Amino acid sequence: MTETRVFHNFINGEFVPSSSGQTFERRNPADQRDLVGVFQDSGAADVDAAVAAAKAAYTTWRKVPAPQRGEILLKAAELLVARKEQYSHDLTREMGKPLFEAGGDIVEAIGMAQFAGSEGRRMHGVTTPSELPNKFQMSMRQPIGVIGMITPWNFPMAIASWKMLPALVCGNTVVIKPGEDASISTYNLVACLVEAGLPPGVVNIVTGYGPSAGQPLVEHPDVPVLSFTGSNEVGRLVYELGARQIKRVSLEMGGKNPLIVMDDADLDLVEQGVVWAAFGTTGQRCTATSRLIVQRGIAAEMSERIVARAKALRVGNGLQATSEMGPLVNGAQLERVLGYIELGKSEGATLRCGGARLSGGDYDHGFFVQPTVFTGVTPTMRIAREEIFGPVLSIIEVDDFDEALAVANDVAYGLSASIYTRDINTAYRAMHELEAGIVYINAPTIGAEIHLPFGGVKGTGNGHREAGPTMLDVFSEWKSVYVDYSGALQRAQIDN
Ligand code: UN1
């Protein structure tokens, strides 16, 4: 499949070129000869047009009954199911993860479309008794307006769905700027919504780069809510710019996720889990396992096993069914990961396998790096503290659970954490004491399901959670309503 598609911005239900006429190209990260798509290199004028369309559409969309809004999402879910194979192919080709993982990305969006769609019939508020007689009171969710979304390339359909679908069911309208490395999946998601009956202007897509297209969206006065997933560096900027206009800003940023292995663990299970969570998606998940914290007595065996598995992983073009790990997303990411590998060596960690760009044959056309394992890593090394976002695992030895916990928690991030143990007391202590938004027991750090809250503590976020029962919170305002049917002035807190 070598077709090159040209994508225009999607504004008010129409495909329009950028006002400057500028475009940019996206090439397959597994094969740079494959031109995947040409996209609009948008600027402030394009963002203005998209926001104006979203603002106009909001006046009617907010009044569509929530169950009807949900119905559109449920129909979109069916279309996603029918097109899963095609959309997986598009996703692999644009960002590199193997087809079976791309399918998971679509499945996550299907789950979210079903979950958010059915929320149209719930969206519960609370009613409470009043302090006063003949008075009724309740609270309800209300939409907010135009939501600005900036999404990453690593889960290009799933993360767009986590943001867009709850926002829509609440009655908001959307302007989304997808990650420039993987915009097609957003078009695919929106195509399903439009075919399912989403009116023009309710979702608008503006493609391009952060400084030229993202920043005008963040700073637009008609966009009261911003939802961002990406790096800490950019997230901080979004937060600062949003704060100047007292915007509501939901941030989902990095991780340095630990997986603790106690010496009573099922090592076969650990081995499989670590390889999946450290090298799956080429380590490019915010939830990826990047630190393996192992009790000293089993550390040597554990390292041997993981190194053997890492060496055996089949790295290749994600479109080939045999590939277990795809390329990194782009050249800059490749440089970054290789830079961290050099840093690990210079910091005194022992490189046990990998450590280099893969070359020769088809590898020369993509951004392939070997699955890499360091042992002898200490908690103060930068490779043990900073997010690498690549297939690089640091193994750290500890004496006991208390030390494991201290090491696990001693980083700036707190997204996902895991422990393997058969001891129920240790498992419960970990559950309570790991500083993370997501904790796994006897399962690796990846694989969150959409019907539980997703997000992290400390440097990972700013207190919001996507998905789960919390998913409506960012996209709705509470309104409390008091109905006094006594026919008299009843003064709360005064008369009784
Ligand atoms: C991410 O890591 O950026 O929990 C999202 C997981 C996936 C989502 C990951 N469901 O690993």
DSSP class per residue in 223-239? --EEEEES-HHHHHHHH
Q: Is residue 64 part of a domain?
A: yes
Q: Is residue 492 part of a domain?
A: no
114 and 199 fall within a common domain: yes
Please name which of 37, 239, 56, 17 lies closest in space to residue 150, comparing C-alpha atoms: 239
Q: What is the pLDDT of residues 124-142, one digit of tens each?
A: 999 999 999 999 999 999 9
**DSSP single-letter state for residue 256:** -
| Spatial distance between the Cα atoms of 481 and 478, rounded to a whole number of angstroms | 10
352 and 279 fall within a common domain: yes
CATH number for the domain including 104?
3.40.605.10
Calculate how far, in angstroms, residue 155's C-alpha sits from the geometric centre of ligand 1: 7
310 and 350 fall within a common domain: yes
Question: Could you give the number of structural domains in the chain?
Answer: 2
> What was the pLDDT predicted at 495?
65
Global pTM reads 0.97
**Active-site residue, selected from the candidate residues 252, 271, 324, 397:** 252
In which domain, by residue range, is 92 found? 5-253+461-480
- Structure-token pair, residue 167: 């926002």
Which distant-in-sequence residues (6+ apart) come within 8 Å of 339 by Cβ? none
- Under a CB-based contact definition with an 8 Å cutoff, are residues 238 and 218 in contact? yes
Q: What is the pLDDT of residues 192-206, one digit of tens each?
A: 999 999 999 999 999
321 and 178 fall within a common domain: no
| Spatial distance between the Cα atoms of 412 and 190, rounded to a whole number of angstroms | 35
227 and 179 fall within a common domain: yes
Helices 267-279 and 296-312 pack at an angle, to 10 degrees, of: 50
Q: Is residue 412 part of a domain?
A: yes
CATH number for the domain including 412?
3.40.309.10
- Under a CB-based contact definition with an 8 Å cutoff, are residues 450 and 467 in contact? yes
Helices and strands: H and E segment counts in the chain: 13, 22
> What was the pLDDT predicted at 2?
65
Pocket test for ligand 1, best of 285, 329, 450 (most atoms within 8 A of CB): 285
435 and 466 fall within a common domain: no
Ligand 1 atom closest to the CA of 287, numbered from 1: 2
85 labelled catalytic = no
Which distant-in-sequence residues (6+ apart) come within 8 Å of 476 by Cβ? 141, 142, 143, 144, 170
How far lies 23's CA from each of 9, 26, 27, 334, in Å? 11, 10, 13, 24
Q: How many CB atoms lie within 10 A of CB 495?
A: 10
121 and 241 fall within a common domain: yes
**CB 285 near ligand 1, within 6 Å:** yes
3-class secondary structure per residue, 360-396: CHHHHHCCCECCEEEECCCCCCHHHCCCCCCCEEEEE
Calculate how far, in angstroms, residue 57's C-alpha sits from the geometric centre of ligand 1: 32
341 and 222 fall within a common domain: no
Burial of 207 (0-12, 13-18, 19+ CB in 10 A): buried
Please name which of 154, 98, 91, 103 lies closest in space to residue 320, comparing C-alpha atoms: 98
Q: Is residue 452 part of a domain?
A: no
Calculate how far, in angstroms, residue 89's C-alpha sits from the geometric centre of ligand 1: 19
**CB 160 near ligand 1, within 6 Å:** no
419 and 472 fall within a common domain: no
Which of the residues in the chain have pLDDT under 70? 1-2, 495-496
Q: What is the pLDDT of residues 211-263, one digit of tens each?
A: 999 999 999 999 999 999 999 999 999 999 999 999 999 999 999 999 999 99
Pocket test for ligand 1, best of 151, 227, 251, 454 (most atoms within 8 A of CB): 454
Q: Is residue 485 part of a domain?
A: no
Calculate how far, in angstroms, residue 341's C-alpha sits from the geometric centre of ligand 1: 24
Pocket test for ligand 1, best of 286, 289, 387, 471 (most atoms within 8 A of CB): 286
- Report CA torsion sign: 80, 86, 87, 88: positive
Q: Where are the beta strands (DSSP E) in 41-154?
A: 127-128, 135-142, 146-150
> What was the pLDDT predicted at 256?
98
Please name which of 284, 278, 326 lies closest in space to residue 302, comparing C-alpha atoms: 278
Q: What is the pLDDT of residues 395-442, one digit of tens each?
A: 999 999 999 999 999 999 999 999 999 999 999 999 999 999 999 999
**Which residue(s) pair with 177 in the sheet?**
150
> What was the pLDDT predicted at 1?
54
Residue 64 one-letter amino acid: V
Atom 6, ligand 1: which residue's CA is nearest? 447
Q: Is residue 230 part of a domain?
A: yes
- Under a CB-based contact definition with an 8 Å cutoff, are residues 285 and 267 in contact? no
Q: Is residue 448 part of a domain?
A: no
24 and 156 fall within a common domain: yes
Q: Is residue 346 part of a domain?
A: yes
159 and 282 fall within a common domain: no
401 and 466 fall within a common domain: no
**Which residue(s) pair with 483 in the sheet?**
136
